[in-house]
Structures are given as C-alpha cells and as structure tokens.
Amino acid sequence: MHKQTLIAWLKRAHTMETQSLPILHAQMTDARKDFPARARFQAHIRETEQHAARMSEALASLGSAPVRGDGDGNAATSIAMAITTRFFSDPLARLAIADFIAEQFEVSAYTALIAAAEQAGENEVARLCRLNRGEDEDMAEWLDAQIPMAVERALTALPLGRR
C-alpha cells in the first residue's frame, strides 16, 4: 500500500515539475526582471528539468513511469496567484509573493515524499527527493529576498496619493 501511494505522489511531483517549466520560462523572459533575476530563473529552469528527471528515475526504480499530459498548469502557482490577487494589486509584488508560496509548496511536497519513501523503505527515492527539496529550499530563500525589492519597486511606481 505504501509503495502504491508513493508512486502516485511521485507521478504528481513529476507533473508539478513539468508544469512549472512554461511558467519559469515566461518569468525568465519577463522584461520587468533584471539580469540577475533572469539568470536565477534560468538556473532554476535547469534545476526543475533535473527535478522532473529525478522523479522519472524514482518512478522507474519502482517499476513505474510518469503520466504524460496530466493537466495544463501548475496548481500550486495557480492557487498562489489566486490568493495574492486578493491582497495585492501590484503585479510585481503579487508575482514575487506567489512565486515564493509556490516554491514553499514544492519544499513541503518533497518533505512529504521523503517521509513516504522512508516509510516504504525506498532510500534511493528519498535521496532523490532530498536533492530536489534542497534546490527548492535555495530557490525559496532567494525568492523571499526578492519580495522587499518587488514591493519597493511597486511603491516607487505608484503616484503619491496611492502609496
């Protein structure tokens, strides 16, 4: 039973990673982002591609494979955008916060996958998930540092009466 649950969760993690790629590509090319931000998103695209490959490897080790064409968008990002839209009118601040929320979701998802893999006695799967979680933790930390700068840019762009 644990193994089947783990396989189902790994398939969803693979989908989460592959569905993040178009979003990351769009963010990397966003004209509002400066060169260091674009470079960091480019690096995270490579990491995300590796995350998906690791999830494929984990699934193969369990005798399974990823599901292709499952959905058309990253649910964590969609939920994060829905939440931030209710609180923040500025698109730059909203995007910075939504990115952070989505990345923290991924960190939490990998924490759960690590626990599930350990419960199932799948140490190699747990190791692969730890690699992904570590890179997502690094990205979340970087995104967290971007939020104050995004807010500063948003407030600077507002007319005095709307600040």
Asked whether the beta carbons of 74 and 19 are under 8 A apart, the reply is yes
> Within 10 Å of residue 120's Cβ, how many Cβ atoms?
18
CATH of domain 2-61+74-158: 1.20.1260.10
What is the tens place of the pLDDT at every residue in 39-90? 888 999 999 999 999 999 999 999 999 987 655 556 677 777 777 767 777 7
Three-state SS for 68?
Answer: coil
Residue extents of the structural domains in the chain = 2-61+74-158
> What percentage of the chain has pLDDT greater than the value 90?
52
CA atoms within 13 A on the CB side of 30: 19
**Whole-prediction pTM:** 0.86
Asked whether the beta carbons of 130 and 123 are under 8 A apart, the reply is no
Three-state SS for 135?
Answer: helix
Whole-number Å distance between alpha carbons of 72 and 121? 33
Three-state SS for 73?
Answer: coil
Q: Does 72 or 20 have the greater pLDDT score?
A: 20
Helices (H) then strands (E): counts for the chain? 5, 0
